[in-house]
Amino acid sequence: MPKAGIIYNDVKPIAGRVAIELKDKLTAAGWDVCITSSIGGILGYSNPDSPVCHTPIDGLTPPGFDSDMEFAVVLGGDGTVLAASRQVAPCGIPLLTVNTGHMGFLTETFLNQLPQALEQAMNGKYEIEERAMLTVKVFRGDAVLWEALCLNEMVLHREPLTSMCHFEIAIGRHAPVDIAADGVIVSTPTGSTAYSLSAGGPVVTPGVPVLQLVPICPHSLASRALVFPDTESVNIYPVNIPRLVMVVDGNGGCYVLPEDRVYMERSQYSVRFIRLQPPEFFRILREKLGWGLPHIAKPTSVELP
């Protein structure tokens, strides 16, 4: 019996309703179906009384989800896709992402196209696009305080209000550099169209094996975004008192003290997205962000989104 999964955003009533309908349809077609909420992929938020909300990377996989699963359908927006990625990446389960949110930059299809998309997935008529992830860890001495998988970006900054932070950052075996800024972002190519883009970083196509370091509102005109090979690890030593807060893919899970070290490297795990048609990143940039449109519209020759 083939096996499939469903991961849905239980905050959105429509996602929950479609998840039940989808489960019934797959079961009637002879599939073994596991269903879970994407809340299991949320990292949790630290606070002064609970400074570290730590769930080991392999501990986020939902019950019943394993490498025998043919695919999993994700119902939600980009936040749901990010959470689902953390849940299933260690198992290598392909994700068919269905937008029930707003922009849906990471989603493949829409609810009104779900019947056709599901048929393609059940028949194996799709391509797999792999997206690189980061492993993020916080060390105190030799002990791991916190770890997480990251598809978009890691952000380190002060709270509750933005103000100047100081960092010593070492990339690979290169000499450490000092950066003064409101915060720093370390981004994957997938995350290059998220926070890092708003902070002035470049857009990176998903297949390029690089990471980028982007200072947020740097104090020096010379501090600009840096792109480097994803074979290089990153160590960040904050020097702020009393602490900084870390945000990974929009989830904050750990306070970082001056004696801590933030370590990042390309993860051994990747997200595997189902593509129902050959991936076309420039088309997504155009449709979602308006990239590459002519500054003077030519309706007879250019199809506008």
| Residues that constitute the known binding site for NAD(+) | 78-79, 152-153, 182, 193-198, 251
d(CA 226, CA 221): 14
Give residues with Cβ within 8 angstroms of 162, minimum separation 6.
182, 183, 216, 217
Q: 71 has which bridge partners?
A: 4
120 sits in which H/E element:
helix 114-122
Is 51 in contact with 254 (CB distance < 8 Å)?
A: yes
Backbone conformation region of residue 105, classed left if phi is above 0, alpha if psi is from -120 to 50, else beta:
alpha
User: What are the two backbone dihedrals, phi and then psi, of residue 68, each rounded to the nearest 5 degrees?
Assistant: -80, -10
C-alpha dihedral, 186 to 90 to 119 to 116, nearest 10°:
-20
C-alpha atoms less than 13 angstroms from C-alpha of 237 in its C-beta half-sphere = 9
Count of positions (residues) in the chain: 305
Task: Tell how strand 261-275 and strand 234-238 pair up.
Answer: antiparallel
Catalytic one of 78, 230, 249, 260: 78
- Residue with structure tokens 């999964």? 5
Active site residue 178: no
d(CA 244, CA 131): 29
Binding residues are: 78-79, 152-153, 182, 193-198, 251
d(CA 37, CA 166): 38
Tokens linked to 226: 């840096």
Q: 244 has which bridge partners?
A: 256
- Please give the positions annotated as active site: 78
